[in-house]
Amino acid sequence: MTDIWAGLASAFWLVVSLDADLVDITLRSLQVSLTALLIASLIALPFGTWLAIRRFRFRRATIAALNALMGLPPVVVGLIVYLLLSRSGPFGVLGLLFTPTAMIIAQVIIITPLIASITHQAMRELWAEYHDLLISLNTSNWQRIRTLIFDGRRALLTASLAGFGRAIGEVGAIMIVGGNIDQATRVLTTAIALETGKGDFALALGLGFVLIALALLVNFAIHVLSRTEREGRW
């Protein structure tokens, strides 16, 4: 018990004094997950919307595949990305293994299906509402997607938020493809795993605080954002 209290106290200090390691790791975590979020959103938001408005032959199969991908265990994603990027793998020549880029790739694979699936569900509803009008106005597919994305932006924000939450807290895949190398690929979650293993609870807890704070902050920011929008426009 004393261990934990001492850990809590020194964790608090680390955060308050902006410990260099802590800041470094936090920034890297943000850099990796935000980049992954950006890329995944660029793919998943239009794709999920497109799925909602297009009828094509393998639509049901695609949606089923998307839902299956959503449940893919991150560790397995990590393993597959590892094999692809390893020196003997097809993309080995790029030398990406154990770099932040590899971690971004793994996270993109993990969160894209999630964001696309939530997007698809929200957009299906909006499309049902807009369908007749947009058909009547002779809109192109691209115009339809843009209109739905714009008017459904709050739902999409929520989808992206869910993706970010999953990315920033993910540990299995980035541990495998990043390698948790100090100063290079160590991020919040992998550092917590390592420090806990070493018994350095102070740093582990400090990192944990930051992780929780980040999650809360993003949630709060989005909440405020969507509320001001509702008041201003709706």
Partner 1 sequence: MQMKANLKDVRVKRRGKTILGPITCDLDPAGITIVLGPNGAGKTTFLKVLHGVERLSGGDVSWNVSDEQARRAQAYVFQSPIMLRRTVRQNLAYPLQLIATPKPQIATRVASWAAKTGLTDALDVSAPRLSGGEKQKLALGRALIRDPKVVFLDEPCANLDGRSTREIEALLMKATADGTHIIMTTHNLGQAKRLADNVIFLLDGQIHDRGPAPAFFAKPRSPQAQAFLEGDIVE
Our CB check for partner 1 shows the closer of 56 and 234 to be 234
Shortest distance in whole angstroms from residue 231 CB to partner 1: 10
Long-range pairs of 104-107 with CB within 8 A, sequence gap ≥ 24: 104/32, 104/35, 104/36, 104/39, 105/81, 105/177, 106/74, 106/77, 106/78, 106/81, 106/173, 106/174, 106/176, 106/177, 107/32, 107/33, 107/36, 107/40, 107/167, 107/170, 107/173, 107/174
Our CB check for partner 1 shows the closer of 139 and 158 to be 139
Our CB check for partner 1 shows the closer of 20 and 132 to be 132
Shortest distance in whole angstroms from residue 151 CB to partner 1: 5
Name the residues that contact partner 1, by CB under 8 A.
126, 129-130, 132-133, 135-139, 143, 147, 151, 233-234
Shortest distance in whole angstroms from residue 156 CB to partner 1: 13
Is the Cα torsion angle 104, 30, 185, 173 positive or negative in sign? negative
Contacts with 87 (C-beta within 8 Å, 6 or more apart), sequence order: 97
Our CB check for partner 1 shows the closer of 143 and 219 to be 143
Shortest distance in whole angstroms from residue 164 CB to partner 1: 24
Our CB check for partner 1 shows the closer of 3 and 125 to be 125
Tokens of 220: 């709060």
- What is the CB neighbour count within 10 angstroms for residue 58? 9
Shortest distance in whole angstroms from residue 139 CB to partner 1: 6
